[in-house]
Every structure is written in structure tokens, then in C-alpha cells.
Structure 1
Amino acid sequence: MLSLEGRDIDRVLIVDDDPEARELYAAYVEDARLEPVLAEERYNSVEQLLKTADDASAQAIVCDFHLSVRNYASFDGASAVARWYERSTPALLCTNFEKAQVDEMRRWRHQIPVLMRPDEFDSDAFIDGIRACLKEFRGEYRLTREPFRTLVRVIDRDERAMYVQVPGWYEPSTAIDLLKVAVPSAVWAAAAPDRRFHAKVNIGATRMEELYFKDWELG
């Protein structure tokens, strides 16, 4: 058993469509002296996966993003991690990703405290990630995760996404893709070149994949 931030953790659910990846993550979890539980079923809904975690009495989760391979799940891991966040269950999203996947994750990113690549994962990274989640549940954000109300400027918009800049971020001229599904419908309807909104953004982020946007204001 591991005691972190006032929470006792002894069982960890491993969610990945790749059996070899599940076994690898399980070995690192065992190195942390915890019991891994492998999610080996096929999942038709996030609710079914959440129930698996509940039935296993898992207090923490390691989850992949790409879950549709091998018909393992009908949803992606980001949406599942976001649901665990709402339950204050620490969950790490551990996956390989490119820009397209980052854009897809953005709608959930404010509820994903830890995103790491598989080659960054080991027992120490796991413990550090779980600790970061638990602190965030108490409102203790890392600098790269803390949200601030800030200006968001629309550069352009097409049928797929709107493209924005955040003047308060350290790369203010960088264009960030926000998919239509990642913004409120009222914001999407009002978006046009040079339109300005306010939103809460983690402007302390040092990498584009860390950025999230929430609590939009039309102004």
C-alpha cells in the first residue's frame, strides 16, 4: 500500500488495448509495491470501464488514449480519464501522441492532470503523477496546470476548428487549433477573425500539448 497526500492506494487499474503494454505498466506498478489490475474486457461505454474500476476497488488508473484498436473500446482514453477526474480518482494518461491527438485531447485537457509518453513511465513517474493528481483535486495546481482568466484571440475559423492565440502565454504568436467539439457552441457561433474572448487557460504551460481552455466568456 502507498499513502500519498492523505489517500491510501493499493490497487491500480491498467487500461490499454495492447496486452504487452498492460503487462509493462503492471510491472512498474508492482515496482511501486502496488497491485495492478488489468482491464482485459471489451468496453462499449465509459460507464462500463468505470464500473470495472469500481468492481476492482482500484484507487488509481493508468490509461492509454488509443483504445479503439483491436476493438478494445468504443471511446478514447482522454474521455475516461476526464470522468475519473470528476470522481477525484487519480488517473494518468499514458500514450504516444502527435499534434492530431493533442487537438483531440484538448476538450478534456483541463481534466487530465498528467499526460506522458510510455517511454517516460516508470514507478517513480507513476507515483509523482498520482501525487500531482491528488494535489490538483485539492486545488493545489502545478505552475504548468494552474488556470488564469486571460485573453484569447481568434485568428481564423473553418468548419473543423478555430485557430487562436493567447497573448498571455509565453508563445503569444503561436496558433493553437481548437476543434469545434472543444469549445462551447455559443463561442463557436461567435468566433470570427480578430474576435476576442476571455477564458481560463493554464498560461504557465511550457508545451502546447499542456494547454487547456475552460470557462469561456463571450465578452
Structure 2
Amino acid sequence: MQLGDYGTDVKNMQARLAKLNYLSSANATGYFGEITEDAVKAFQKRAGLSADGKVGGVTLTMMNSSSAKKAASAPSTKKETKTSGKSSSGSSSSGSSGSSSGSVSDKSGVEKLIALAESKIGSKYVRGAKGPNSFDCSGFVYWCLKNSGVSTSYMTSIMWRSTSRFSRFTDMGSIQRGDILVFSGESDSAGHVGIYLGGGKMVDASSSEGQVRLSSSVLNSGGYWSRHFICAYHVF
């Protein structure tokens, strides 16, 4: 774990740092920012480790040890912000609508989501499945979001049509890399969701193909996807 990372593992690590008095519990958010990095370095110095601010196996083992040393002073009460932080090592790309204006941490979140989605291409489609080895379309989106550090409950493709959890829009020209795309099916009771990669491509769990696949030409005017497009959501 290092600067810019998201997720449950980060949050658990932060909770441990808070218990050891290196980090304010208010900063145990699941986002690894500069304040968390400073807290990790402080722990590493006190534990006699190389203070690089990264949490690898040795640091994590010592941190979770019953003999882990507590901080000598109270932690900073400064609140972690996603916009303050060093550039992460992850790259980022924009969708067809142009470059994203999001912060570095937003972009790293997008790239983590995309990497998770692409890693599941070829996984089996099973109706109602939510991973990690089989999925339906909404279960796939839920699993990818959850494992990229996004706090959300499971939603069916129909529920995705009107949720207020994320920023909803209906202009296909505004779609960006990492957005969640929502489509209608052949009937009112059917629907579909996927994750946009950029360049007109989407990763989705397809019932017709029986697997998680890479779909192309999603934004083509007059094509199947554009005819069935309902809305999309900016998650990051």
C-alpha cells in the first residue's frame, strides 16, 4: 500500500495506525494520502524500519504485532484531503470527451477501477453473481467499485437508472473513462450496466456471451448501445 491507494486494506491499516496513536481516527477513510504517508513513516522510524512511507509485508506485520510501539505524541488533527497529495505512479487516460479535470487521487481511483474490470475479462456470467469469479452485469460493476475503494451498496441495473449516489448525466458526449454506463434492455424490466474504458470501449458482463467481455463502438451514433443508452455516472 502506498500514496494514492484506496480500499478496505488501506482503511484497516489506518485504523491500526489510529489505535497506535500515529493517525487521527478521522483520517481512517480508506484513502492513502500524505497524512497517512507521514503516519506510516513515523511508525517505521519508531520501529527501526526504513521510513519510505510504503506499507509492505514487513511494515504491516510489525504494525499488527502485539508489541508494536505506540507514537510518542498525539497525532495531527489535520484532515486528509484527496486533492493534496503527490503524484501517484499510475497513469491515466481520458475518454472521448477529453481530459479529466479530476485530482491525481481521482485519476488513480479511475485507473484502479479499470484495472480491476479488465482483470475479470473472460470470467463466467452467472445471473445474480457478485464475484469474485463469476458475475452478472450489476454484480460485476458492484464488485469492481467495492474493490477499488468506492463505498456503495449493491444495485440492480434497474436501480442504476435513478440512483442519487453518484453524479448522473444523460449526455453521451460527457462520458469519461471510468464512468458507469446504464442501458435499457428489450423490455422495461430488463437493463444493463458496464464500465467505460475510453475510446468507445466498455467492460461488461454479458448474458448473451456468457462472460465478462470487452465491448467496442459503445458511443457510435445510431448503434445498439446509443439507442439503448439511458444515463451514465461519474464515480470519481
Asked which structure has the greater CA Rg, the reply is: 2
The alignment's TM-score, normalised by the length of structure 1, stands at 0.28
The alignment's TM-score, normalised by the length of structure 2, stands at 0.26
